[in-house]
Amino acid sequence: MAKNLKEILVDNSNDLVHMWLEEVAEKQKEVTNSAISQDLFENTNREFVNIIFGSVEKESLTSDLDSFTERVINLGWPLSYLTDGLQLFKRVAIEFLIEHEELDVSVPKVLRHVDELVNPIINQLVNEYSGSWENTVSLQRVALQELSAPLIPVMDNITVMPLIGTIDTERAKFIMENLLDGVIKHHAEVVLIDITGVPVVDTMVAHHIIQAAEAVRLIGSTCILVGIRPEIAQTIVNLGIDLSKFPTKSSLRKGFTTALEMTNQMIVQTNSEEQTIEELIDSLDRSEQS
């Protein structure tokens, strides 16, 4: 072998870069996104091909590659931008080598050699890219979980858990744990579970609510289910689910009144001579008009 395949590639990098850039531009025409400026595309392409060459030359993965991938991810570009670019690079390199006259290597050997040079880069990019996605997804999961079963200690002894959105088995378990922890932590005598924002109450959700209410009862507190919309009330009845073991109320407001009674508390207006909030708002309205 007169010259090593890699050396031929590196020696002719100018030609190859040129060919690659043309091919990539051709390919990107099909999927041109008007939101991305032509300059950004061209600069990124140029940087990309230099990084590919850098890795090929050193036959090792450079840190440039990592930071480049990270930037492409932050730009929100698809993984296919990277994989297509590398596939094109393989094609350009193979075509170039096969047509190269100094070469006395068989075609299958060329193919294998180019694969060996480029595949590690592809693997690295895909790993980096999917790793970054997994990271994003797991952060969102944590964020969602924090939102999924909030507990609000409204007063001494009374705590509210407003539930919004779909409840799957994982969330149902989390609700149960959070509920029990919260009841103990806030010394709640009464806990109101508000299901106004739950779109469907099926047997699974109902079962978990019943179990949660039962568990709350076992640690000496009471659970009131509130926010039962009329259509949900009807489907629960149709399903034949028995919710009579614990108090239920149509609205949070009514549930809260019940909770106050159960904990021997009352909300009193301290000074009836003082203006009520409505009167205050009225007077503000009037003063604005005058």
Partner 1 sequence: MDFRTCVNIQKEWDIVGARQFGRDFSKKLGFGIVDQARIATAISELARNIYLYAGSGKICFDEVENVGSRGICIVAIDTGPGIKDISQVMEDGFSTSGGLGAGLPGVKRLMDEFDITSKTGEGTEIRVVKWVR
Ligand X SMILES: Nc1ncnc2c1ncn2[C@@H]1O[C@H](COP(=O)(O)OP(=O)(O)OP(=O)(O)O)[C@@H](O)[C@H]1O
Q: Are 117 and 6 in contact (CB under 8 A)?
A: yes
Q: Is 237 in the site for ligand X (CB under 6 A)?
A: no
Measured CA to CA in angstroms, residue 136 lies from 123, 132, 143, 191 at distances of 20, 6, 11, 34
By beta-carbon proximity to ligand X, the closer residue of 188 and 205 is: 205
Q: Which stretch binds partner 1 (CB under 8 A): 28-36, 124-132, 161-169, 189-197?
A: 161-169
Q: How far apart are the C-alpha atoms of 276 and 192, rounded to whole Å? A: 27
Q: Which stretch binds ligand X (CB under 6 A): 79-87, 165-173, 199-207, 242-250?
A: 199-207
User: Residue 248's beta-bridge partner residues?
Assistant: 225
All residues at 6 or more sequence positions from 196 whose CB lies less than 8 Å from its CB, including other chains = 162, 164, 226, 227, 229, 252
Q: Which stretch binds partner 1 (CB under 8 A): 66-74, 130-138, 141-149, 225-233?
A: 225-233
Q: What DSSP character marks residue 157?
A: T
Shortest Å distance, C-beta 234 to partner 1: 5
Shortest Å distance, C-beta 173 to partner 1: 13
Q: Which stretch binds ligand X (CB under 6 A): 57-65, 69-77, 200-208, 277-285?
A: 200-208
| Number of residues that this document lists for the chain | 290
Q: Is 203 in the site for ligand X (CB under 6 A)?
A: yes
Q: Please name which of 169, 156, 167, 170 lies closest in space to residue 193, comparing C-alpha atoms.
A: 167
Instruction: Work out which of 199, 275, 280, 285 binds partner 1, going by CB under 8 A.
Output: 199
Q: Dihedral through CA 182, CA 183, CA 186, CA 187, nearest 10?
A: -160
Instruction: Work out which of 4, 33, 145, 234 binds partner 1, going by CB under 8 A.
Output: 234
By beta-carbon proximity to partner 1, the closer residue of 78 and 165 is: 165
List interacting residues with ligand X (CB under 6 A): 203-204, 207
List interacting residues with partner 1 (CB under 8 A): 166, 168-169, 199-204, 206-207, 210, 230-232, 234-235, 238-241
